[in-house]
Amino acid sequence: MNHPTNHFFHHTPDSLTDWCARHDMPAFRAKQLMEWVYVKGVADPALMTSLSARDRDLLASEMTFISGETVAHQVATDATQKLLVQWDDHISPRAATSLNILGGENCNDASRQTECVMIPSHEEADSGAPKRRTACISSQVGCPVGCKFCASGMGGLDGNLSAGRIVEQAWRLGLLEGVGRISHIVFMGMGEPLANFTNVVHAVRTLTSPWGMGISARKVTISTVGLPKAIERLAEQLDLPVTLALSLHAPTDAIRRRLIPWAEYTTIEELLDACDSWYRKTGREITLEYTLISRVNDRPEHARELAKVAKSLRANVNLIRLNEVKGIHFKRPTDEDVRTFQGILRDRGVNAHIRASRGRDIAAACGQLRHERVTA
């Protein structure tokens, strides 16, 4: 029996202890379960040999450990790995009611699928240090933002992922062959994380807790298209010193509105004010994410305008080459244009990096794998 509302990865030690008590399990059972799942990587009650047979049977029937099914697993030539996970019919009660994804004849499999990616370090880590393993995870099924160059939002939003399902993605990636411990988390998969604020913050607390995945909060990046009030709310979570990445993608409001429908509701000036407030409250610099699109936002004049934006606050810039998507007419910029763009920024004192394109041979960009399977 599947119990989506009683998902192991949604539990905290306190809530799991309460659940165990209600089911006549000993007080120490919750700690044992946390160790089996997070330390030993075991999510099948039948294999939890330190538990009584009665408790193993009860857990198997009353608690969901693995909530989704991996319907595709691809490995790129650069060792990047991507999973396409299909969840059961219960995505988000509020969203599901309005979007008819509770099952039945009208239920589309793609409306229950999300992607997550494991990105290994491009270079070997320092001697004696563990290698960097980054989990790029999704926060929603689909995306409400609808950026014109991104596959994630082509079908709109199907629903929010629960905190448990967000955590489960990172846990799944850590169990892939050759991966080992996940060291970094980026919320740069499908969805707008700050539009699913409560579940994302809950998930981050689990991912960074010693009893959970034990990842440093400073190694967690939350990427947002820019929701000023939500950025301010996130800044108030002072016990979670995460990194904030703003998906800017344009140096002017006019260009940004061509690329990002939600930009109609927020100006760059308003976003910069929210980011400045973030820095003053947290002391942590902003990362500006900028996807370069050939002949749209990659010209020298765009670089000069972006430099003015970046210099107005404590920020560094990640330059991302567009990953072309079937059905979208935008083109990937040339390497020469990307290097010229970066040079202009650096000449003006902006800390600008060109982010390596990883997993291109397995459609590793946001939403690509799901989109390509639907349109195949």
Of the residues 30, 47, 62, the one at which a domain ends: 62
pTM of the predicted model, to two decimals?
0.90
Give, to the nearest 10 degrees, the angle between helix 228-235 and helix 268-282. Answer: 0
210 plus 271 within the same structural domain? yes
Could you tell me the end-to-end alpha-carbon distance of the chain, in angstroms, rounded to an integer? 33
Confidence at residue 269, expressed as pLDDT on a 0 to 100 scale:
97
Let me know if residue 1 belongs to a domain: no
Domain that holds residue 42: 8-62
Confidence at residue 155, expressed as pLDDT on a 0 to 100 scale:
84
Residue 237 has pLDDT above 90, yes or no: yes
Higher-pLDDT residue of 317, 96: 317
Confidence at residue 106, expressed as pLDDT on a 0 to 100 scale:
33
23 plus 148 within the same structural domain? no
d(CA 3, CA 6): 5
113 plus 179 within the same structural domain? yes
d(CA 295, CA 290): 14
Let me know if residue 111 belongs to a domain: yes
d(CA 282, CA 284): 5
Let me know if residue 246 belongs to a domain: yes
Q: What is the 3-state secondary structure (H, E, C) of 23-71?
A: CCCCCCHHHHHHHHHHHCCCCCHHHCCCCCHHHHHHHHHHCECCCEEEE
Of the residues 39, 62, 85, the one at which a domain ends: 62
Confidence at residue 98, expressed as pLDDT on a 0 to 100 scale:
29
Let me know if residue 3 belongs to a domain: no
d(CA 263, CA 217): 29
Sign of the Cα pseudo-torsion (164, 169, 170, 175, in order)? positive
The amino acid at residue 112 is R
Confidence at residue 125, expressed as pLDDT on a 0 to 100 scale:
44
232 plus 264 within the same structural domain? yes
Confidence at residue 113, expressed as pLDDT on a 0 to 100 scale:
93
Token representation of residue 316? 């560094």
304 plus 231 within the same structural domain? yes
153 plus 18 within the same structural domain? no
pLDDT digits (tens, 9 = 90+) for 246-283: 999 999 999 999 999 999 999 999 999 999 999 999 99
The CATH number of the domain holding residue 36 is 1.10.150
1-12 burial code (b ≥16 CB/10 A, e <16): eeebeebbbbbb
Token representation of residue 243? 């990194």
Q: In what order do the strands lie in the sheet with 352-355?
A: 68-75, 81-87, 113-120, 133-136, 184-187, 220-224, 243-247, 286-292, 315-321, 352-355
The CATH number of the domain holding residue 279 is 3.20.20.70
CA 36-39-43 angle, 5° bins? 40
Let me know if residue 2 belongs to a domain: no
Catalytic machinery residues:
115, 366
For the chain, give the percent of residues with pLDDT over 90.
78
pLDDT band at 366 (very low <50, low <70, confident <90, very high): low
Count Cα neighbours of 42 within 13 Å in the Cβ-side half-sphere: 16
d(CA 41, CA 25): 22
Domain count, the chain: 2
151 plus 174 within the same structural domain? yes
123 plus 74 within the same structural domain? yes
Please state, rounded to an integer, the average pLDDT across all residues of the chain: 89
Alpha helices by DSSP H, listed for 130-162, are none
Backbone dihedral region for residue 214 (phi beyond 0: left; psi -120 to 50: alpha; all else: beta): left
148 plus 237 within the same structural domain? yes
Confidence at residue 100, expressed as pLDDT on a 0 to 100 scale:
27
d(CA 25, CA 23): 6
Let me know if residue 123 belongs to a domain: yes
Which value, to the nearest 10 degrees, does the dihedral of the CA atoms of residues 267, 270, 271, 277 take?
180
166 plus 47 within the same structural domain? no
Let me know if residue 155 belongs to a domain: yes
pLDDT digits (tens, 9 = 90+) for 145-172: 999 999 888 889 999 999 999 999 999 9
219 plus 310 within the same structural domain? yes
pLDDT digits (tens, 9 = 90+) for 91-115: 543 333 222 222 233 345 667 899 9
250 plus 370 within the same structural domain? yes
Residue 348 has pLDDT above 60, yes or no: yes
pLDDT digits (tens, 9 = 90+) for 107-144: 456 678 999 999 998 554 444 555 899 999 999 999 99
Let me know if residue 236 belongs to a domain: yes
